[in-house]
Copies of this chain bind each other. A is one copy, B any other.
Amino acid sequence: MIKVTVLGRASAKPTVTSHPSAQIVNVNEQYYLVDAGEGTQQQMFRRGINPLKLRAVFISHLHGDHVFGLFPMLSTMGLCGRQTPLKVFAPRPFGEMLEFHLKYFDEALPYEVEWVEVDTTKHCCIFENRTLEVWTIPLRHKIPCAGFLFKEKMPELNVHKFKIEKYSLSIAQIVAAKRGEDVVLEDGTVVKNSELTYLPFEPRSYAYLSDTSRSAMAAKRVKGVSLLYHEATYTKEFAKDAKARGHSTAADAAAVAVAAEAERLIIGHFSSRYKSPEVLLAEAKEIFENTQLAEEGETYTV
């Protein structure tokens, strides 16, 4: 199961009610932070999410509204006595920023922060564990920027109980079937794996695409995604500005969801010019019906 908690949906500058970009992606109770605008740690506290739980951090690009909140949180985790190393996946020159922060603010940090450089030009798997893969999605922004695709791995096959009885399968035969192999019975008959097994669930996926101009290539790379978050900074009347600034309109976001054949779309990263983002939602829904606004503090379950 993947749960995405939106901590911020503002672009560039915060407003009275709205924070810059940050999200928590919870995959089978393992927590990952995606981008970290100012106020991220406090937004996490408000949702009862302890930064000490974080397994890794993924930073899409190094504009302040996506990273200013990381450094104060690194300090806080130090004050809280974190000892587990923390991997931060981010593009260059994050290493220099981290070095600077540690030198001036956290010389005695009790845990290691390990920077893993993200090549924003490549589509590849940068993180993997037993149940999850995280892939980079090159984006089109003013500075090097990559989105992230969280993909559950194919679960192990289950063997139908009634087949176990029908063929009185041995432990060894069940294990083989779970591995996807056909089973040869004592009398020599071969039972096809497809007859014995089933998938306990379809692997789910979540794609985070911000900040970016509309990208057909990005859509291709998240094809069939269960839940797509796409930035929608402007309405289409500002399409020119959006393109010039490496951003998207709500219509762009919806078009990417259509091209990607996404199941659901969430839009965010709203310009502060929109007192209410309903106009952005309406624009997107015209093109992709299953669209929701990112709401700060809301959790979206896949």
A interface residues with partner B (beta carbon < 8 Å): 12-16, 19, 38-39, 41-42, 45-46, 62-65, 68-69, 71-72, 75-76, 79-80, 93, 96-97, 100, 104-106
Q: Name which residue of chain B comes closest to A39, CB basis.
A: B39
Residues of B within 8 A of A63 (CB): 105
Residues of B within 8 A of A39 (CB): 38-39, 42
Contact A105 B64 (CB under 8 A): yes
Minimum CB–CB distance from A244 to chain B (whole Å) comes to 15
Minimum CB–CB distance from A10 to chain B (whole Å) comes to 10
A76 to B63, CA, bound (A): 12
18 interchain pairs, CB-CB under 8 A: A13-B41, A13-B80, A14-B41, A14-B42, A16-B42, A16-B45, A16-B46, A38-B38, A38-B69, A63-B105, A64-B71, A64-B75, A64-B106, A65-B72, A65-B75, A68-B71, A68-B72, A93-B104
Residues of B within 8 A of A72 (CB): 38, 64-65, 68
Given the interface contacts A64-B75, A71-B64, A72-B64, does A45 sit within 8 Å of B104 by beta carbon? no
Contact B12 A62 (CB under 8 A): no
Residues of B within 8 A of A16 (CB): 42, 45-46
Residues of B within 8 A of A19 (CB): 42
Minimum CB–CB distance from A40 to chain B (whole Å) comes to 9
- 13 other A-B residue contacts (CB within 8 Å) besides A14-B45, A38-B69, A65-B75: A12-B79, A13-B79, A14-B41, A15-B42, A16-B45, A38-B39, A38-B42, A39-B39, A39-B42, A62-B105, A63-B105, A64-B71, A93-B104
Residues of B within 8 A of A64 (CB): 71-72, 75, 105-106
Contact B104 A62 (CB under 8 A): yes
Minimum CB–CB distance from A211 to chain B (whole Å) comes to 14
